[in-house]
Amino acid sequence: MEVIAYIVLALIVIMVIYVISIYNRLVDIKHNVSQAWSNIDVLLKQRHDELPKLVETCKQYMGYEQETLKQVIAARSQVAAARESGNIGALGSAEHNLRIGLGNLFAVAEDYPELKASEKFQHLQARITGLENSIADRREFYNEAVKINNVRIEQFPDVLIARWFHFTSRDLLEFNESDTADVNISQLFR
């Protein structure tokens, strides 16, 4: 009888250790998703801070192109609102609008040689292009972390622990194909 009690106790200890290890792995995965999002968020904030500088620089040269500048400012506000609310779907849509606005802005800048020659404009254009490329790279890491999270919380036996402790799936950060084609803004100047 004593041997059976030890076997049962050993099985209980093994099960508890197994559940704890699954829980800890799910926590680690959840935090990887949060960290990947934080990396994107930092880049979005940096770009958010650079856009007013770009608009102000353009205003000095583009007196009659106010509608294009307003489009960029409105899109910037949409991205900021979606980012702050954590709404991944709205962020994808807002990013689309911002990319269109920036594309229009840089296309219109072609008509202003003094603006294109401005060192400040060139610096801001390069900075924003670099941030766009970094956002695209970080989006890939974020989506991979989300995929790992979503798969793990649906696999057995992890799904039991995930449901018990209320682990949830996360949304991928997706842009439509026209957005991914427009990532490199500098191509508009060729």
pLDDT tier at 183, thresholds 50, 70, 90: very low
Confirm if 101 and 68 have CB atoms less than 8 A apart: yes
Q: Taking 60 as the threshold, does the pLDDT of residue 5 lie above it?
A: yes
**Number of domains forming the structure of the chain:** 1
Residue with more model confidence, 178 or 46? 46
Residue 185: predicted pLDDT: 43
| Burial 133-158, CB ≥16 within 10 A → b, else e | ebbbebbeebbebbeebbebbeeeeb
DSSP H or E segment with residue 103 = helix 88-109
**Overall average pLDDT of the 48-68 stretch:** 78
Could you tell me what percentage of the chain is helix, strand and coil, using 3-state DSSP and rounding each to the nearest 5? 85, 0, 15
Structure tokens at 114: 């003094």
- State phi, psi for 63 to the nearest 5 degrees: -60, -30
pLDDT tier at 182, thresholds 50, 70, 90: very low
- CA-closest candidate to residue 104, choices 185, 168, 37, 175: 185
Place of tokens 């106790």: 9
Residue 32: predicted pLDDT: 96
Report the CATH number at residue 37.
Answer: 1.20.1440.20
Model confidence over 67-105: pLDDT tens digits? 778 888 888 888 888 888 888 888 888 888 888 888 888
Residue 186: predicted pLDDT: 47
With pLDDT > 70 as the criterion, what percentage of the chain qualifies?
Answer: 89
pLDDT tier at 180, thresholds 50, 70, 90: very low
Mean per-residue pLDDT of the chain: 84
Residue 190: predicted pLDDT: 38
Domain of 145, in residue numbers = 2-189
- CA-closest candidate to residue 44, choices 169, 149, 157, 131: 131
Residue 4: predicted pLDDT: 92
